[in-house]
Amino acid sequence: MDCMGEVLRGSWGVGCWCMYPRLTGAEAHGMGSQQRRKAMTTLARRRRAPGLLAFEDEEPVGWIAIAPRTELKRIENSRATPQVDDEEVWVIPCITVRPSARGRGIALALIRAAVAYAAKQGAPAVEAYPRAGSARTSDDNAYFGTEPLFRRAGFKVVRKALKRHGNWVARVTMRAASPKRRAR
């Protein structure tokens, strides 16, 4: 967990511990940073990992969350990310790379590794809900990735951005079939 903490330090993730998409609003409201870290530690002890870390030499430089959509309560219940169909997809809800390691392809490598990991776990496809378009954004708003980044990783848009409500960020639904399924 210390390695994950190093990646998240100085960003939105230091308080979230990538638990936000896994919790309902009421659950999230009742948990502080230390409780979220403890909850992520519990998830990390399971046989199936809640995400993947990227390292350069011995230094942790990136994190990507990956899980079946049904385990991501916030995503399952959100009007911003409704299901496209009945496919039992896995989802990448967030990705982050330390500022000192950006621009070297780490995010792209993490996405590809997450798709491969999900395929090994039996996922038929992986979805993501990145920011629509290619406009630059601040780091704190980039944790769910960008449309061009996921395109480079082989994802295709399966639903265009929905009509925005309130402070929603326009997001597209993108999907990549598992490598096993693409080979058929």
Q: Which residue has the higher pLDDT, 12 or 169?
A: 169
Is 145 in contact with 155 (CB distance < 8 Å)?
no
Q: Where are the domains of the chain?
A: 2-182
By 3-state DSSP, what share of the chain in percent is helix, strand and coil, each rounded to 5? Answer: 40, 20, 40
Mean pLDDT for the chain overall: 89
Contacts of 5 (CB under 8 A, 6+ apart): 14, 37
Q: pLDDT > 90: what percent of the chain?
A: 61
Phi and psi for 51 in degrees, rounded to 5? 175, -175
Sole residue written with tokens 């982050």: 96
Q: pLDDT > 70: what percent of the chain?
A: 91
Q: What is the pLDDT of residues 128-164, one digit of tens each?
A: 999 888 777 666 567 888 999 999 999 999 999 887 7
List, in sequence order, every residue forming a beta bridge with 177; answer none if it has no partner: 125
How far is it, in rounded angstroms, from Cα 51 to Cα 43? Answer: 10
pLDDT at 70 over 70: yes
Q: How confident is the model at residue 181 (pLDDT cuts 50, 70, 90)?
A: low
pLDDT at 166 over 80: no
Q: What is the pLDDT of residue 131?
A: 87
Q: What is the pLDDT of residue 90?
A: 98
145: left (phi over 0), alpha (psi -120 to 50) or beta: left
pLDDT at 58 over 80: yes
Mean pLDDT over 92-97 rounds to 94
Q: Which residue has the higher pLDDT, 140 or 94?
A: 94
pLDDT at 179 over 80: no
- Which option is the CATH number for 2-182: 3.40.1800.10, 2.60.40.770, 3.40.640.10, 3.40.630.30? 3.40.630.30
3-state secondary structure 143-164: CCCEHHHHHHCCCEEEECCCCC
Structure tokens at 157: 């848009």
Q: What is the pLDDT of residues 1-51, one digit of tens each?
A: 889 988 888 776 677 888 999 999 889 888 988 999 999 999 999 999 999
| Strand pairing category for 90-92 and 125-128 | parallel
pTM of the model: 0.91
pLDDT at 182 over 60: no
